[in-house]
Chain A
Amino acid sequence: MLLEIVLGFVLVVIVASIIAYTAQAYNQIIKLEKDVDKAWSNIDVLLQQRSDELPKLIDTVEQYMDHEKETILDTVRERYQKTEQAENPNEQAEADSMLQGALGDLFAVAEDYPELKANENFQDLQDRISSIEEQIADRREYYNQAATNYNTLIEQLPYVFLANMMSKTQKDLYEAPDGSTEDIDINEQFGE
């Protein structure tokens, strides 16, 4: 009788532990998925901050640049609109790479305008945009790590069974577009 009571108690605790572990596993899958979504949204927040700074940058630059340089500003405008329209990490990577290229061209051309370079407003904007770019890079790294953790979890035992029942699929990682990771030919850059 005593043994039956104790064994019954042990069985209840073990079953309760299995139920608690299963509930915890379910919650973990949901939480990790939400973390990935949040990480993606947090990149959007910074992209929006950058987008808010870009019109001010363009307005400041327009006052100093020659008319023939307008095409560079038009390119910057067009490419930041594309980043806002991106719907997944791959599209965003592509659009962002093109915008960074346009911004790089803009800052390079600004070197030819000493008055522009000396303008405090321009310097502040340039510093802020650079700071935002660094934070965007950090958050992309964070997004990739969060997505990797989620992708790994839903393929591991015992989570893979729950994930299949919940129809969970892998999340895309943010990858640098083709060409952006190639080595730069310094001689070509300097026209040698």
Chain B
Amino acid sequence: MSSLEAIAIAIIGFIGGLLLIYYGFISFKHYQVIRDTPTEKIQSISVGTTEIKGTAKPSNENEIYKHPLTKDDVVYYDLEIEEHHYDDDGSDWEQVEHISKGEQFIVDDGTGQVGVFVMKPRFEFHDDNITQETFTISPESEPPDVLKQFQDNESSWVPNFLDKDKYRVTVKSIKAGEDVFVFGEAEIRDEIESPTNEDNVIITNPSMDRFEISQNDLNKANPNIFDNRGIPFIISTQNEDELQSDLKWSGPSGLIIGLLISSISLYFLASWFIV
């Protein structure tokens, strides 16, 4: 490794460590907000910051999808495809496609139903909601449907089965009929006039305007910490206690690990420039 590469790694480490500290701080803030906000019943939901729990359902017949791997009915999925590469440094996986489906779904808590607009939320998936499979492509066998669909459709990426032999597919999903926890902002849908919350109110990201986000951005939703640094917008298939526990420990661990990484990186940077 050249000294320039080493300095670059140290700079990345230093900045990465600081970002990790910031991430830990944001996660801890989210933990506190969720802990201190009572859960509302949907029949009496009020405009503003809200926390609800219930069952996920499709908002209409067009908003229900098939899980790319298991073929279960889902209201949202996030699909990531990685291609296996061999190069001089060894072998690794490179992400070649990343899409999501599911713009909106309904949450029903038994007292009523309300729409949730999936606009760059912080997703917290239970392990059961994450499916990963690795496919080895050979000339004798038919490629799996989940990869073949990209050959058949007009998409930005087309798989090259002649050149690449291994693909890894990861799907994160919210199944229809599954329990979900949603934290966000309830707003009135001025475009609809209805006495029921199902039509009249929607839960969305408080940091964004749902009329300004493009369809492209929704389908390629890849939220980062800066999308949710204020009041968070969280969609979770974990229950509230599990979610709080994860977020609570993200804070101090982000601080400690971030501090360690940035301190070590700073030590190396200082040793090159000062000594």
Q: How far is the CB of A23 from chain B (nearest CB, A)?
A: 11
Asked if B46 lies at the interface with its beta carbon under 8 angstroms from chain A, I say yes
B residues 71-102 in Cβ contact with A at 8 Å: none
Chain A contact residues: over half helix, strand or loop, or mixed?
Answer: helix
CB–CB B259/A13 < 8 A: yes
Known: A9-B262, A28-B32, A135-B44. A146 touches B255 (CB 8 A): no
Q: Does residue B10 face the partner (Cβ distance < 8 Å to A)?
A: no
- The number of residues on chain A lying at the interface, defined by a beta carbon within 8 Å of a beta carbon of chain B, is 30
A17 cross-chain contacts in B, Cβ below 8 A: 21, 25, 255
> Is B223 close to A, CB under 8 A?
no
Q: Is the CB of A6 within 8 A of B266?
A: yes
A-B interface pairs (CB < 8 A), number: 65
Q: Beta-carbon contacts of A131-174 to B below 8 Å, as 1s and 0s?
A: 10011101100100110010001000000000000000000000
Q: What is the CB-to-nearest-CB distance from A135 to chain B, in angstroms, rounded to a whole number?
A: 4
A118 within 8 A of B: no
| B225 adjacent to chain A (CB < 8 Å) | no
Contact A9 B263 (CB under 8 A): yes
Contact B40 A24 (CB under 8 A): no
Chain B 1-57 interface residues, beta-carbon cutoff 8 Å to A: 21, 25, 29, 32-33, 36-38, 40-41, 43-44, 46, 48-49
Indicate which residue in B36, B41, B274 contacts A32 across the interface (CB closer than 8 Å). B36
**Given the contacts A9-B263, A149-B36, A42 and B270 also touching, CB distance less than 8 Å:** no
> B162 interface residue, CB < 8 Å from A?
no
Residues from chain B with a CB closer than 8 A to the CB of A32 are 36
Q: How many residues of B contact A (CB 8 A)?
A: 26
Q: Is the CB of A28 within 8 A of B36?
A: yes
- By a CB distance below 8 angstroms, the chain A residues around B267 are 2, 5-6
Chain A residues closer than 8 Å to B49, beta-carbon distance: 35
Which residues of chain B are within 8 angstroms of A14 by Cβ–Cβ distance?
259
B249 to chain A, nearest CB (A): 16
* A138-B38 CB under 8 A given contacts A2-B274, A38-B48: no
Chain A hits for B263, CB < 8 A: 6, 9-10
**Residues of chain B with a CB closer than 8 A to A1's CB:** 274
**Shortest Cβ distance from A4 into chain B, in angstroms?**
10
B-contacting residues, A83-132, CB 8 Å: 131
Q: Closest CB-CB distance, A20 to chain B, in whole Å?
A: 6
The residues of A that contact B274 with a CB separation of less than 8 Å are: 1-2, 5
Residues of chain A contacted by B192 (CB below 8 angstroms): none
Residues of B contacting A146 in the complex (Cβ-Cβ under 8 angstroms): 38
Q: A38-B48, A149-B36 are known contacts. Are A138 and B43 too (CB-CB below 8 A)?
A: yes
Question: Which residues of A sit under 8 angstroms from B70, Cβ to Cβ?
Answer: none
B271 contacts partner chain A, Cβ-Cβ < 8 Å? yes
Chain A to chain B contacts (Cβ below 8 Å), 29 pairs: A2-B267, A2-B274, A5-B266, A6-B270, A9-B262, A9-B263, A13-B262, A17-B21, A17-B255, A28-B32, A28-B36, A31-B36, A35-B37, A35-B49, A38-B48, A45-B46, A46-B44, A134-B43, A134-B44, A138-B41, A138-B43, A138-B44, A142-B38, A142-B40, A142-B41, A145-B38, A146-B38, A149-B37, A149-B38
Q: Which residues of A contact B (CB under 8 A)?
A: 1-2, 5-6, 9-10, 13-14, 17, 20, 24, 28, 31-32, 35, 38, 42, 45-46, 131, 134-136, 138-139, 142, 145-146, 149, 153
